[in-house]
Amino acid sequence: MTEEFLYELKIPKERVAVLIGKSGETKTTLERETKTKIDVDSKEGDVTVSGTDALGLYTVREIIKAIGRGFNPEVAQLLLKPDYALELIDIVEFSGRSKDSLLRLKGRVIGREGKSRHLIEQMSEAYLCVYGKTIGIIGEPESALIAKQAIEMLLKGSNHSTVYKWLERKRRELKRDRIIGQQQSF
């Protein structure tokens, strides 16, 4: 007899419809891809995931967490790939409890007309989502780590230009490492 596992999560109520998707499409796809069963209480935002495949359960839990943290389902489903990871940064750790401070820090990461966020995504090759009191990152482990470090630099008060220069250097290193990796595989 195989053992069934169960996870319980809570997502914001306004993200429930996104998790379920049009005509239940997103939920059904996630269940099929991860061999799990997802039950959603749309009134409370409670999500229960069950199944016998531990890896599938872990993966779907991360995807649901990503959707709950503001990612669109297509980006969140990148986590189905074994080489993608989700990182969450709690902005409150950098801002204290002040609402003004929280807004200021979110603004630093997003930038004017989204420029800063876009540049971090482009240079790190990771996806970002600023939602509520968190910043979510989805990408390959090296990319997610670079994006996380850049965001933390901004949250700690580094100048944008300093962070962009650091990102440029990291991007060159990442490309160089990939080229070396490809050459070694021949």
Q: Please give the span between the terminal C-alpha atoms of the chain, in angstroms, as a whole number.
A: 45
For residues 109 and 179, membership in a common domain is answered with yes
Tens digit of pLDDT for each residue in 96-135?
778 899 999 999 999 999 999 999 999 999 999 999 999 9
DSSP state letters, 44-91: TTEEEEEES-HHHHHHHHHHHHHHHTT--HHHHGGGGSTT-EEEEEET
CB 8 within 8 Å of CB 57: no
Q: Are residues 52 and 142 in the same domain?
A: no
Domain assignment present for residue 77? The answer is: no
Same domain, 65 and 106: no
Pair (66, 126) in one structural domain = no
Same domain as 122, residue 146: yes
Q: In this structure, are 89 and 136 located in the same domain?
A: yes
Of 16, 39, 71, the residue that ends a domain is 71
Residue 112 domain flag: yes
Tell me if the pTM is above 0.75: yes
Model pLDDT for residues 46-70, shown as the tens digit of each residue: 999 999 999 999 999 999 999 999 9
Q: What is the CATH number of the domain that holds 28?
A: 3.30.1370.10
CA torsion 37→41→42→43, rounded to 10°? 180
Pick from 164, 167, 98, 159: nearest CA to 133? 98
Is residue 2 pLDDT above 80, yes or no?
no
The Cα–Cα gap between 169 and 171 comes to 5
The answer to the question of residue 171 being in a domain is yes
pLDDT by residue (tens digit) across 10-36? 999 999 999 999 999 999 999 999 999
What is the bridge-based pairing of β-strands 127-131 and 37-41? unpaired
Would 79 be classed as within a structural domain?
Answer: no
Residue 55, in any domain of the structure = yes
Q: Is 58 within a domain?
A: yes
**Whose CA is closest to 111, among 65, 163, 61?**
163
For the chain, the average pLDDT equals 93
Q: Tell me, yes or no, whether 56 and 146 share the same domain.
A: no
What six digits make up the tokens of 16?
């429930």
**Domain interval for residue 96:** 85-184
Q: How many structural domains does the chain have? A: 2
